[in-house]
Structure 1
Amino acid sequence: MYKVAHIGLVVKDADQSSLFYQQVLNCEVVNSYQDERVKLIFLNSGGQIIELVQRLQENATEHGTAGIVDHIAFEVEDVFAEMERLHSLGIMPLSDVPRSIGTSLKNFFFLGPDGERLEFMQGML
């Protein structure tokens, strides 16, 4: 069984949403990341992590028809081993290799049976 690492929510403005979650729900920012494609803010909500996802560039092939709940992430020990395991099950990840997010996280996405985006993530927020 895998532990849920976080739930990713698509937002229009990550900073504005972060302030809302902090002020209204007493969430605490635990990490953030930004590149040319995406801005991510990770919030602790009573021990559960909410990831705010602001897309700076839209990539339809990567994100499909994701709604407000963009993805569910699961913690794993080794993203490379998990990628191989999925291949052996006939499940094709959405990227050829895991990607690095900052210095401490590695991840990749794949689809569930109804097209839902799932993520395996290695590392701590």
Structure 2
Amino acid sequence: MLSVAHIGIVVKDTDKSLDFYTRVLGCTVEETYQDERIRLTFIKAGQQTIELIQYQEDAVKTRGAGNVDHIAFAVTDMEAEVARLRQHKVTLLLDQPKVTNGKKILFFAGPDGERLEFVQKL
């Protein structure tokens, strides 16, 4: 079985997204790369890697279709994490965490409107 190497998310502003993922969610920068057409920043979220992809203006036109529905982050204290999101004025996509299938879940938006989720096993 293959394991996930990373999840790539196309962002409009790497600096804004990097601030969100590091300051609000506690991720850390692992590696960066930039050339005339693209800027890549790899960040660690626990054992997982997320790749933030910012295309330069001309490269955006040649990018093919692609879509990531959401990224889920495992948490141990949903209430504390929701309070932290509210403190940072993050847009919540549910008013309150929802309990489903033995888990508490909450969807919220990243800086480019990407759908993110917190999951707490009960």
CA radius of gyration, larger in = 2
The residue aligned with 1:37 is 37
Higher relative contact order (CA 8 A, sep 6+): 1
**Which residue of structure 2 lines up, in the alignment, with residue 10 of structure 1?**
10
SS class of match (1:20)? helix
Once residues 28 and 58 of structure 1 are traced to their aligned partners in structure 2, the CA distance between those partners, rounded to angstroms, is 27
Q: For each residue in 1:52-86, what CA deviation from the matched residue of structure 2 results, as whole angstroms up to 9, or x when unmatched?
A: 0000132555x31224x39xxxxxxxxxxxxxxxx
Please provide the CA RMSD for this pair.
1.9
- Partner amino acid for 1:24? V
Q: What's 1:48 paired with?
A: 48
Q: Does the residue aligned with 2:44 lie in a helix, a strand or coil?
A: strand
- Change over 3 Å in CA distance of 1:59–1:26 after alignment to 2: closer
Q: Is 1:58 aligned to residue 59 of structure 2?
A: yes
Q: Could you tell me which amino acid in structure 1 is paired with residue 26 of structure 2?
A: N
How many residue pairs get aligned? The number is: 68
1:1-125 equivalence runs, <5 A: 1-56=1-56, 57-58=58-59, 60-61=61-62, 63-67=63-67, 69=68
Tell me the percent identity: 51
Aligned to 1:105: none
What residue identity is the alignment partner of 1:20?
F
Which residues of structure 2 form unaligned runs of 5+? 70-122
Q: Deviations over 1:4-45 (max 9, x none)?
A: 100000100111100110000000000000011100011100
- Letter of the aligned partner of 2:7 in structure 1? I
Gap regions ≥5 residues in structure 1? 71-125
After the TM superposition, list the runs of 4 or more consecutive aligned residues in structure 1 that deviate by more than 4 angstroms: none
1:122 aligns to what? none
